[in-house]
Amino acid sequence: MEAPQRNLAMDLVRVTEAAALASARWLGKGAKNEGDGAAVDAMRLSFNTLDIDGRIVIGEGEKDEAPMLYNGERIGTGRGAAVDVAVDPVEGTNLLAYGRPNAIAVVGLAPAGTMFNPGPSYYMKKLVVPAAAKGMVDMNAPVAHNLEVTAKALGKKVEDLVVFVLDKPRHKDLITQIRAAGARIQLHTDGDVAGALMAVDPSSNVDMMFGTGGTPEGVLAACAIKALGGEILAQFDPQSEDERKNVLDFGLDLTQILTTDTLVCDDNVFFAATGISGGTFLGGVSYSGTGATTHSLVLRGKTGTIRRITSTHQWDKLMRFSSIKY
């Protein structure tokens, strides 16, 4: 037995709240990089108040030339635990730019040296299932088989399942196979971290996630999947010859099946996400004129604790000292 320890996720949620509050001002304005940049600046300032010795392992932005917290950047005061950090200040920059649902600010954290470094890999195939179906799915099995075993594990029929799939041309055959098996589909234009979270969240009506999405997002989602007890299986899926060559030159194996434990090999993980644009997963930032309300999900892997936090922010007090002008 041990006394309760510090839950770093409670510090992380202040970081994601700051990013969400700053970026939500750009909702629907068609300015993807400006919204992302506001979130990055707010997140960096917030991180550097935390007593951690952090190193960014997963920093979003590089593949689309957006602002970023860059890979290898040191964050925190340097006085606390040594940790690997995965960030996506705006997961779903297009969702934010066009005012669409499910843009979120996300941070994952794990002990130093335990988070997978995907190097130059931008894309991977992913299969995400909730805790009940853990160990039952197979990345190399037919789509219909994985639907059947997941449905059985959940006590459902295949026809009852809802599968999250990104609405991309590369998924044409996948969508056909899912429909042929009888399952239902939610098609989303962006946001596969949110999709992975929906697939493992007991309160969500999504049962699985299939398809190729971002590799950095896969590592980030694995922090939450660890905490929630679900499973992610993944395999590198380069979308260009240049990416394929870079992945091979980096020493990665295109045939390897990556598991949750491959992506994050320690259970002592922390995760926080705050809604920006709102949607089926997390409520968005709501401005009142005198303040704002945010909605967040906070997870701790070691204890399995899930917190859903609604926060009210008051400008008349916050703006007296905040260096972030919301």
User: What dihedral do alpha carbons 293, 279, 92, 30 form, nearest 10°?
Assistant: -80
Does the annotation list 241 as a binding residue? no
Does the annotation list 91 as a binding residue? yes
Does the annotation list 192 as a binding residue? yes
Does the annotation list 168 as a binding residue? yes
Does the annotation list 191 as a binding residue? yes
Does the annotation list 17 as a binding residue? no
Does the annotation list 79 as a binding residue? no
Does the annotation list 25 as a binding residue? no
Does the annotation list 123 as a binding residue? yes
CA distance 108 to 127: 20
| 66 Cβ contact list (under 8 Å, min separation 6) | 32, 33, 36, 37, 60, 93
CA distance 236 to 176: 22
Does the annotation list 62 as a binding residue? no
> Which sign, positive or negative, has the C-alpha torsion 205, 264, 39, 298?
positive
Instruction: Give the three-state DSSP class for 67.
Output: coil
Assigned token pair, 148: 């059947």
Does the annotation list 111 as a binding residue? no
Instruction: Give the three-state DSSP class for 90.
Output: strand
Q: Nearest CA to 216 among 280, 264, 268?
A: 264
Does the annotation list 214 as a binding residue? yes
Assigned token pair, 226: 């660890």
Alpha carbon distances (Å) from 139 to 40, 94, 260, 279: 34, 29, 13, 29
User: What dihedral do alpha carbons 269, 215, 26, 320 form, nearest 10°?
Assistant: 30
CA distance 193 to 104: 9
Q: Are 260 and 213 in contact (CB under 8 A)?
A: no
Does the annotation list 93 as a binding residue? yes
Which positions make up the binding site for substrate?
91-93, 123, 168-170, 190-192, 214
Which positions make up the binding site for Mn(2+)?
36, 60, 88, 91, 217
Which positions make up the binding site?
36, 60, 88, 91-93, 123, 168-170, 190-192, 214, 217
